[in-house]
Amino acid sequence: MIKSLDQLPPLEKYIPGRVIIGIDPGVSGGVAVRYVGREVLTFPMPPEVDAVRDLFQKITHPDCLNVAYLEDVPPFAGKLFPGSRMFRLGESCGVIRGVLSSLYINTVLMRPQAWQWALGLKREKGLEQAAWKRVLKEAAQVLYPDIKITLKTADAVLLMHYGITQQL
């Protein structure tokens, strides 16, 4: 996982083509990007608006078709998430959508149930949220054994993978 934009390889290294980005917009979310050369990079979600903009400017290639799969946040998530948390999540999602739009990055909003179902990931009844997150992390690690998957980046990696399956 790359923790600083200074650790990114030079943009010239990437072959023009299709760039697929998976985005989990939560404060504890992340970003995963796959370049044409099949290299996958992961990042924790930046905490500030300017850092979000800087990240997407750095990881996209102007000569590529950049497509972002952004997890769509529900307006209400039940008793588990208070209104203040849902507000912050919605705000984060809106900031990300605005940044992606300003950078001309095609964006596909995906409900969690839709991409999870498409990847064959089904949450067992009664499974707690923390346990479900570990299941998702393990699934991402199986798909990408050569990169370090964290709880922050697992959903983003799986969204990116879903995007790859849609682009074939």
For position 47, what pLDDT does the model report?
85
Residue 4 located in a structural domain = no
6: how many CB neighbours lie within 10 A of its CB? Answer: 7
- Residue 18 is inside which H or E element, if any? strand 18-24
For position 164, what pLDDT does the model report?
92
Looking at residue 54, which CATH number applies to its domain? 3.30.420.10
CA dist 76 and 142 (Å) reads: 31
Residue 30 located in a structural domain = yes
Structural domain count of the chain: 1
Residue 72 located in a structural domain = yes
Of 152, 160, 157, 117, the residue nearest 139 (C-alpha):
157
CA dist 104 and 62 (Å) reads: 9
CA dist 123 and 85 (Å) reads: 22
Full residue range of the structural domain in which residue 97 is found: 14-167
For position 168, what pLDDT does the model report?
59
Residue 8 located in a structural domain = no
* Cβ–Cβ under 8 Å, residues 157 and 143: yes
Question: Which DSSP string do the residues of 35-84 spell out, in sequence order?
Answer: -TT--EEEEEPPSSHHHHHHHHHHHS-TTSEEEEEEEPPPS--GGGS-HH
For position 28, what pLDDT does the model report?
85
124: how many CB neighbours lie within 10 A of its CB? Answer: 8
For position 17, what pLDDT does the model report?
72
CA dist 45 and 156 (Å) reads: 10
Per-residue pLDDT of the chain (168 residues; tens, 9 = 90+): 555 666 665 555 556 678 899 999 988 899 999 987 778 999 999 888 899 899 998 888 777 888 999 998 765 555 555 555 555 666 777 889 989 998 889 999 999 999 999 999 999 998 898 899 999 999 999 999 999 999 999 999 999 999 999 875
For position 42, what pLDDT does the model report?
94
